[in-house]
Amino acid sequence: MAERLNPTTGAPGLALIHGAVPAFQAAGLSWTAAVEWTRRLRRELCDRVFELLCERHSEQLNPLKIELSPIEFPLDGYGVNVNFMGAGIDFRANQQAHFDIVEPLGSNLYGPNVNVRGGWPVFCDGRAYCRDHGLDIKDILDKVPASRNLTFQLPHYRALMEDYAVAYRLDMAEDTPFTVFVNRVEEVGLLHGATEVAPIDAGADVERPIWHYAWDNVTSEAADNWYEALGQRNLRSPGEPHRLKPLVPDTVTLRREPLIIPVQEGSWSA
């Protein structure tokens, strides 16, 4: 796992783990217990991988020496998250592909979904895009509307979606797959997002929970330093999150390999 996330070798910086809930149920756990144990597996795996990466690649993972600690919180992956974390901020989790703020290692756990079509995790290789086009990634950064998250300027973003993006289609109703990714803009350049979400039954309620986990520092000082290193300012861009459309086209490539790791007895390790 740690080698998949190695920021020094050109590795993809991403792993996607699925099948934990069915594996736990097969071992005799109830549905509720299997979902909770999958969250526990995700936390422990992220912590161990973060420890290994810090031991081996601290200069690439945390060059600013920001003090980091684990944080976990739920998100509404379909509607608007109102007054998020008590900060008076509203936003949609299902937005265009982006980088998260500060956190060098992040993870999203999806589901269990109810009445959801789409919402497949999407990852974009910004590092390869910049390499192939002779660009410095810092020169093409922009803000997601109504957000502080960084993304690519629109012409580059469209080209990124065409040739450097992939969506992973997984069971998020009977399983809760999760991603683990390195969120270093210059070192890895991996943007993440999701395809558009719609209800299967327009007359029924939609549930698309996401649990985010990261090693992070949520202070303004840490964010200021992170933005400054990228030539940006720690300011929220204008716009209305209630009216945003996720700018991930339906034509994004769907695939299952090579980065997906099924959870089976004896099949995985940090």
**Contact criterion met (CB below 8 Å) for 128 and 118:** no
pLDDT of residue 244: 53
The list of the chain residues with pLDDT below 50 reads 256-260, 265-269
Query: Bridge partners of 80?
Result: 92
pLDDT of residue 146: 77
pLDDT digits (tens, 9 = 90+) for 32-57: 999 999 999 999 999 999 999 999 99
pLDDT of residue 263: 52
Q: Collect contacts of 235-238 with beta carbons under 8 A, ≥24 apart.
A: 235/143, 235/148, 236/89, 236/143, 236/146, 236/147, 236/148, 237/143, 237/144, 237/145, 237/146, 237/147, 237/148, 238/145, 238/146
pLDDT of residue 87: 55
| pTM score | 0.89
pLDDT of residue 257: 46
